[in-house]
Amino acid sequence: MATKIFRRVDVIMDPAMETRGHTPVDMRARMKDGGEFFRRMDIAPGFPGNPLSQEEHKARFLDCIAYAKKPIQKDKVDEIGERVANIERLNDIRSLIPLLLT
């Protein structure tokens, strides 16, 4: 399914977009029935000027963990998330290292 969709995607570079900043994106989807959807984003999520919410940070973290070459145990994932969410309270940031080792 995904390969069929990718065959129908065209990426067009527009040098004029560079004047809008570091990470602008314009996306247009044209439907078979002639309808069109358009989304413009001047600053990608997570960049200065468009910060992520706590929930968005957690979702990105969990998404990245899902792609880890070596799976990390759920209890360790939860503990990593908890420590990072409260990083200013950690006595020593090195306490995260053992949790990242599988």
Cα dihedral 61, 62, 65, 71 sign = positive
- In the chain, what are the domain boundaries? 2-41, 54-100
0.85 exceeded by pTM: no
27-37 tens-digit pLDDT: 999 998 999 99
Cα dihedral 67, 70, 73, 76 sign = negative
Please name the residue that has the structure tokens 């939860």.
78
What average pLDDT does range 78-94 have in this prediction? 93
